[in-house]
C-alpha cells in the first residue's frame, strides 16, 4: 500500500458526460501528479500540482482540468467524455516535487466511457 | 527527445533464472531513473531507482545497471520467482521537469 488513495475505483459513464476523480496524497506529501494509462498510449503524464499551485502540464486535453485543495487532496475533472477517454487514471504523490524524491502511485480509477 | 525506449515487450523466464529488461534514453537532462512494477488492476509500485552518479544499484534480488555514456539502463531480477510475474516500467525524470517519462512496459512471466 503506497499511502495514496483514489476514489472511485471504477467509473462507468456515457459519452458527453462529466466525471470527477479524487486523490488523497500520502501524509506529508505536497506534490500530486496525474497520469493516464491506456493500451495504445501507455502511461502518460497529465498534470502536476504542488501545494495548491499548478506546476507542470503534460499531454492534458482542454476538456480535462485539475485542482489541488488546501488539504492537499486533488481532483481531476473530465468533461465532454469520449470513448477514447476510457483508461486507467493514476494519481501519484511526492514530498516536494523535485527529482530528490520518489513518486508513489495510488491504485487508480478505471474509467469506462460507453 | 523525451522518449524512453524499453525492450523487450514481453519476456518469459524460467523460475530461478535471471530476468533482464533494457531501457534507452536520448535526453541527457534526465537525472533520475526509477523502475516500477505493476500487477493487474493495481497502480505502479516503485521498485528501485538510480541516479547517474553511480553505475549500479542493488536491492535484494533487483539490480539496476546504468551506462551513462551509452544512455542505457537495465533491470536485472536474479533468482526470478513466479511472484515476480508483472509488468515492469522503466522511467526517467529531468531535474526541474518533474514529470516521469515512462517506457512502454515489459510483461514478465516466470514459469515453473
pLDDT of residue A97: 64
E strand segments, chain B: 4-7, 10-14, 19-25, 30-38, 45-50, 56-59, 62-67, 72-77, 86-94, 97-102, 106-111
pLDDT digits (tens, 9 = 90+) for B25-77: 999 989 899 999 999 988 999 999 999 889 999 999 999 999 999 999 999 99
Cell numbers for A48, please give them.
502536476
pLDDT of residue B96: 75
Helix (H) or strand (E) holding A110: strand A109-113
Cell numbers for A52, please give them.
495548491
Residue B104 burial (CB count, 10 A): 17
Chain B partners within 8 Å of A103 (Cβ) = 34, 46, 100
pLDDT of residue A98: 66
| pLDDT of residue B1 exceeding 60 | no
Report which of B2, B38, B23, B3 is spatially closest to residue B73, judged by C-alpha positions: B23
Distance from CA of B36 to the nearest CA of A (A): 10
> Which pLDDT band, with edges at 50, 70 and 90, does A100 fall under?
low
- The number of residues making up chain B comes to 112
Residue A103 DSSP code: -
Burial of residue A85 (CB within 10 Å: 0-12, 13-18, 19+) is buried
Q: What is the CA radius of gyration of chain A?
A: 13
Interface contact A93, partner B, CB < 8 A:
no
* Whether A4 and B89 lie within 8 Å, measured CB to CB: no
Distance between CA atoms of residues B19 and B86, nearest Å:
12
Looking at chain A, which residue has its C-alpha nearest residue B30? Answer: A99
Mean pLDDT, range A54-64, rounded to an integer: 92
- Give yes or no for a contact between A44 and A58, defined as CB atoms under 8 angstroms apart: yes
| pLDDT of residue A23 exceeding 60 | yes
- Give yes or no for a contact between B93 and B102, defined as CB atoms under 8 angstroms apart: no
pLDDT of residue B2: 57
Mean pLDDT, range B83-111, rounded to an integer: 92
β-partners of residue A90 are A35
Amino acid at each position: 500500500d503506497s499511502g495514496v488513495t483514489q476514489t472511485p475505483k471504477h467509473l462507468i459513464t456515457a459519452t458527453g458526460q462529466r466525471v470527477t476523480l479524487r486523490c488523497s496524497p500520502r501524509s506529508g506529501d505536497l506534490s500530486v501528479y496525474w497520469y493516464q494509462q491506456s493500451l495504445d498510449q501507455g502511461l502518460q503524464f497529465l498534470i502536476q500540482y504542488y501545494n495548491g499551485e499548478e506546476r507542470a502540464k503534460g499531454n492534458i486535453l482542454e476538456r480535462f482540468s485539475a485542482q489541488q485543495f488546501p488539504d492537499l487532496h486533488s481532483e481531476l475533472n473530465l468533461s465532454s467524455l469520449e470513448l477514447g477517454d476510457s483508461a486507467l487514471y493514476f494519481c501519484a504523490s511526492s514530498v516536494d516535487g523535485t527529482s530528490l524524491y520518489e513518486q508513489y502511485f495510488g491504485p487508480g480509477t478505471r474509467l469506462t466511457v460507453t | 527527445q523525451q522518449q524512453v525506449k524499453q525492450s523487450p515487450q514481453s519476456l518469459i523466464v524460467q523460475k530461478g533464472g535471471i530476468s533482464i529488461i533494457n531501457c534507452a534514453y536520448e535526453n541527457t537532462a534526465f537525472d533520475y531513473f526509477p523502475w516500477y512494477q505493476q500487477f493487474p488492476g493495481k497502480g505502479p509500485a516503485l521498485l528501485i531507482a538510480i541516479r547517474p552518479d553511480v553505475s549500479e544499484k542493488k536491492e535484494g534480488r533487483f539490480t539496476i545497471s546504468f551506462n551513462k555514456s551509452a544512455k542505457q539502463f537495465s533491470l536485472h531480477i536474479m533468482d526470478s520467482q513466479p511472484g515476480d510475474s508483472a509488468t515492469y516500467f522503466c522511467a526517467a525524470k529531468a531535474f526541474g521537469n518533474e514529470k516521469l517519462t515512462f517506457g512502454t512496459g515489459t510483461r514478465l512471466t516466470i514459469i515453473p
